[in-house]
Structure 1
């Protein structure tokens, strides 16, 4: 344990360095974010290792990985820095017009591709120096319970490998802040002019070749659960790892797929893919912004949460920004 004399000699910047390296898992990228040289990062890590008595980060061909001790420390370091930032922000309010911060947002691609066009347009207007990184979030395979399927995302938030998560999950533990962005539902997506548009019956639906978005290649999804209730099945002819890939395939084939409605409204027209009312019940769910409550002490993060909350859906189902401008309009 450190005594008071040792504590007085600790450079708080070392904790910032620890946080960035833990997030980036790469010395070079960490150096870019901190506007330092890679050698300065390595020197700082050496001081941290001596201070904490642990290697902290181990070299790999692709960067560095945290040790078990570093992973244990990450949440505590994040909390300490969040409190310090909160104290500093009360004296120097966050000014988005001049900020050059970079925020990391985690979300499934069916969500990030919905919020990103509006978010980037808004940032260009009100915070031109702010940068954004998007992390692809995926539910943990093998769990039907949502609190288990998304537990890795919550852990990443507490480890500060990302700032905010936007996920289709409602039952958030009380230690997290939750803010609803919008309601989502699935529709059937087909190439414009597809024969299914003229005859969207359940029997015809079961006869079609289906495309399923699944990053693991698993062919079973919520559609199959609904079909099984009626003693029906379908043929999954293809799986693809993301929703944009799905649109490109649908545009060139006779396949059909269940896709998020808002995603299709924003991106479907570019691929000549349209929505058809589903002949069976498909899920509807809330999309929520999630981050640790302690992180809301960071004025910059609190601002970003508020900004995301201003992305709304109007009666025409297009996204409306506070500026009044409009955009054109998770395993299935």
Structure 2
């Protein structure tokens, strides 16, 4: 067993910063030390852990296999320490001045954000939200994202991620009512054959439809890919392109009522909206409040 009295835990903070930034200079900037001080700290850590930990490259530093193995455990340990300390402080929503960062899938934003804004206005007027799309790589922002609301559970560092099912909904295939194939039964083969307008993967955070088709030896014909759901109904109404949507969107977007909707012929696929968060911070009072708020909003939606 390591004698922690002889181990400087600050070295682990420096290790985490080097892993996150990929350079000595970047780590120094993040934690407020000089590059020289970070280099000296890394030298001490190499001796203590008996590994080189990082190799210098033209782009910065590259972690060794041992450093990658250690990274998850160090992240988890520092997260638990941070949470244990922060639990001493109460989170009072009506008095709080705090910014939460969330990634929200495009389909979900119409359900969540108006209700979230309404609740904040009453319950936590000093709290702000920075809403990020999935067009920003989840890997690049996971260390500063409080929660994700997405169509499939997060796969980032799975040993550190918890998820909760918020809502499951039927998927429907949309086409204009006078589409040339409007009277044909919607089969998986027809669905794959028809030209699609598709919401980009970066907006949804999932490839579940394409994975289900691939399992059947099929592939969609992508005529157009767009960044936002709100462009899709008008495109479908004025062309022979088809699209998919959760049925609940019919209550939010009146344009859909002018389109024909057929059940998606991929029985195993549903719109499953999931809330994902980092287990290292789940006991922190502000995070617990946010988890309850988002869960409550989706309870309202379900009813």
Using the size of structure 1 for normalisation, the TM-score is: 0.59
Within 2, Cα distance between the matches of 1:121 and 1:163? 20
* In 2: Cα distance, 1:57 partner to 1:295 partner: 32
Q: Find the partner of 1:131 among 129, 132, 146.
A: 129
Q: CA offsets, 1:163-208, max 9 Å, x none?
A: 32334346986764332211122112345xx425995542797686
* Alignment partner, residue 86 of structure 1: 83
TM-superposed CA distance for 1:45, in Å, is 6.0
Q: Counterparts of 1:182-261 in structure 2 under 5 Å?
A: 182-190=167-175, 194-196=177-179, 199-202=182-185, 209-215=195-201, 221=210, 236=221, 238-244=223-229, 245-261=231-247
State the shift of 1:303 in Å.
Answer: 1.8
Q: CA RMSD in A?
A: 5.1
Does residue 110 (structure 1) correspond to residue 110 (structure 2)? The answer is no
Secondary structure at 1:95 match in 2: coil
Which residues of structure 1 form unaligned runs of 5+? 31-37, 139-151, 321-332
Matched pairs, number: 275
Distance of aligned partners of 1:96 and 1:122 in 2 relative to their CA distance in 1, 3 Å threshold: same
Decide whether aligned partners of structure 1 residues 294 and 223 sit closer, same or farther in structure 2, where only a CA change above 3 A counts.
closer
Whether 2:279 is the aligned partner of 1:293: answer yes
Counterpart-to-counterpart distance in 1, 2:105 and 2:272 = 13
Distance in 1 of aligned mates of 2:122 and 2:286: 17
The answer for the alignment partner of 2:46 in structure 1 is none
Give 1:244-323 correspondences, 5 Å limit: 244=229, 245-263=231-249, 265-266=251-252, 268-269=253-254, 272-274=255-257, 276-278=260-262, 281-282=265-266, 283-312=269-298, 318=301
In the TM superposition, residue 3 of structure 1 has moved relative to its aligned partner by 7.1
* Pairing of 1:148-163 with structure 2 (within 5 A): 160=143, 162-163=145-146
Against the structure 1 CA distance between its residues 118 and 300, is the aligned structure 2 distance closer, same or farther, given a 3 Å change threshold? same
- The TM-score, its normalising length taken from structure 2, stands at 0.63
Distance 1:254 1:209 in 2: 7
Distance 2:61 2:226 in 1: 28
Structure 2 SS opposite 1:123 = helix
